[in-house]
Structure 1
Amino acid sequence: MSIERISGKEVKVMVREGCKKRMSFAFCLDQAKDPLLMIQPGKKPETLKTPMKKEGGGPPMAWGTYVVRSGEMEMTCESAPQRMVTELKTFLRRNKPQVNVLFYDDGGNLLDSLKPEKAEGQVTEENAADISASGIDPQAIAPLKRRLKRIQPRIGLAPGPLELKLKRALAKSVSLINDGRLQEAETMVVVIERAVARIGQDREDEAKSMKRGQREMDQRSLGAQVKRAQSLQANVARAPGKVRDRLGRALHVAARHLKRRDLDSARDAMDKIEKALTALV
């Protein structure tokens, strides 16, 4: 991507590019007092001054870099005339970037901010920051939370009706996690990832998204099965002589399956051990 002028309807393009990498921007008013915004890859926003002038722009001018992460567009202004920051905020508000926008000076001080306005009929939004699943192993939740944080800013780049559906799905995922229904939440997250990949708003295509999701799901499931085996080991140790030896061997078989990541065989082996332990009661 080279230097590009961003019209109001292209603000989502600006957000999408910021999701991929840090971008430079410059903003001012042209001779007709209309907003003039340009972006380009990289961290040298001052190089935009010349093309801005060619398009009719002039001082005062704001420029800097921006990046989008975790649902926020952070705009660091190396040149930040207050009037232009205000004009830029007005321009973005009018064109609904659908992410929080934070304006900083080059010293890291917050100058201003803009929260996305709720569209008519928009549902109450929940995001990864709203996950508060007390009593659930944080390590089991962490992969899901990480995936939700990664995909959340990309949902805003989906076309209108689909965006609303995906936001509802994300809120549902958060609710399921908070209720401890992690498998159902996993399924919902996969649906969101596939939808975003399918419309081309993710750096991963659908196949890569599915593979990564499956890998994380297997990893989480592996951890749960290892804990199950550890719990069974304590119960097997309390079994009487010959039964203890037999169940101990069966547990070693289950452990080998886990080491090979053959989760189905490991589950079957541990199911049999649990059944045998139950029969002893």
Structure 2
Amino acid sequence: MSIERISGKEVKAMVREGAKKRMSFAFCLDQSKEPLLMIQPGKKPETLKPPMKKEGGGPPMAWGTYVVRSGAMEMICETAPQRMITELKKFLKRGKPKVNVLFYDDGGNLLDSLKPEKPEGQVTEETAAGISAPGIDKKAVAPLKRRLKRIQPRISLAPGPLELKLKRALAKSVSLINQGRLQEAETMIVVIERAVARTGKDREDEGKAMKRGQREMDQRSLGAQVKRAQSLQASVARAPGKARSRLARALHVAARHLKRRDLDSARDAMDRIEKALTALA
């Protein structure tokens, strides 16, 4: 292969050549401010300067060598004006090289990089296995993880466009769990469960999915309210005499509501207790 000018459509061919052997390159803008990129085999990029000038190119100019290995095109720039690196990056991006492009100076320092664009419609294949949730109560995370594992294989049975949407929703759920935003994650999971149920690809219909999801949410909410009551109990114990007795009775009422799983009444009762404790402070 001799000296060759590379158009935007030929970026992939440029990558293929770099996968075979080390290549030289030179890049600048021509007199019309259009990108001008030339390549040739070998390690003497400076020899590209005369043909670049002949094609209307001039300073500033970036040149060096490149090679493709391990899924990345490494461009070692012997001269690397920042403006030209930026312009070269834009040029390569339009050509969609499908590999990472790493720009280095001749000292091995990374100057810039370009990641390949994902094909349209491609989504992150995030799964329940990606849940790490560092620093978050495992007992709170476990029910959500279990539900995602249950629904995950059924997503692939949904029609094409819906499958993509549900995969995105699942990936979002995993991200929310890992951030500790469990309530938001649970809402997203309910949406996924209902959507899958509507397709008829789940053993549950939409109504059953809703009821089971609500039970899960209530169970999580119950656990949170029990912890809240336990925390209030310690605060009530520190309240002064008459107020302590009154608040203890109110807390006992809240506990009865929790026992009956009347979460709304329990929340209201504990809201009043917290308000009273604040007034005493």
The answer for the alignment partner of 1:210 in structure 2 is 210
Between 233-242 and 174-183, the greater mean CA deviation after superposition? 174-183
Q: State the distance in 2 between where 1:278 and 1:178 align.
A: 33
Q: State the distance in 1 between where 2:252 and 2:242 align.
A: 16
Structure having the higher Rg = 2
Question: Cα distance, 1:181 vs. partner?
Answer: 1.3
The answer for the alignment partner of 2:225 in structure 1 is 225
The answer for the alignment partner of 1:260 in structure 2 is 260
The answer for the alignment partner of 2:241 in structure 1 is 241
Deviations 1:40-59, CA, capped at 9 Å, x for gaps: xxxxxxxxxxxxxxxxxxxx
Deviations 1:40-91, CA, capped at 9 Å, x for gaps: xxxxxxxxxxxxxxxxxxxxxxxxxxxxxxxxxxxxxxxxxxxxxxxxxxxx
AA in 2 matched with 1:174: V
Structure 1 gaps of 5+ residues are 1-117
Question: Cα distance, 1:123 vs. partner?
Answer: 1.1
The answer for the alignment partner of 1:147 in structure 2 is 147
1:122 aligns with 2:122: yes
**How much is the aligned-residue C-alpha RMSD, in angstroms?**
1.3
The answer for the alignment partner of 1:190 in structure 2 is 190
Question: Cα distance, 1:121 vs. partner?
Answer: 2.9
AA in 2 matched with 1:221: S
1:138 aligns with 2:144: no
With a CA cutoff of 8 Å and minimum separation of 6, indicate the structure with the bigger relative contact order: 1
Question: Cα distance, 1:120 vs. partner?
Answer: 5.4
AA in 1 matched with 2:247: L
Look up the SS of the partner of 1:201 in the other structure: coil
AA in 1 matched with 2:148: L
Q: State the distance in 2 between where 1:234 and 1:263 align.
A: 21
Question: Cα distance, 1:135 vs. partner?
Answer: 2.0
Q: State the distance in 1 between where 2:262 and 2:158 align.
A: 37
The answer for the alignment partner of 1:115 in structure 2 is none
Q: Give the paired residue count.
A: 164
Deviations 1:219-273, CA, capped at 9 Å, x for gaps: 0100000000000000100111001000000000000000000000000000111
The answer for the alignment partner of 2:169 in structure 1 is 169
AA in 2 matched with 1:172: K
Conserved? CA contact 2:140–2:220, under 8 Å: yes
Q: State the distance in 2 between where 1:240 and 1:159 align.
A: 64
Question: Cα distance, 1:142 vs. partner?
Answer: 1.1
Conserved? CA contact 2:196–2:202, under 8 Å: yes
Q: State the distance in 1 between where 2:142 and 2:172 align.
A: 17
The answer for the alignment partner of 1:67 in structure 2 is none
Q: State the distance in 1 between where 2:279 and 2:177 align.
A: 34
AA in 2 matched with 1:197: A
Q: State the distance in 2 between where 1:136 and 1:259 align.
A: 26
Compared with structure 1, are the counterparts of its residues 119 and 200 closer, same or farther at alpha carbon in structure 2 (3 Å cutoff)?
Answer: farther
Q: State the distance in 2 between where 1:186 and 1:119 align.
A: 30
Q: State the distance in 1 between where 2:266 and 2:243 align.
A: 20
Conserved? CA contact 2:251–2:273, under 8 Å: yes
Q: State the distance in 2 between where 1:276 and 1:247 align.
A: 8
Q: State the distance in 1 between where 2:136 and 2:267 align.
A: 21
Identity of aligned residues (%): 88
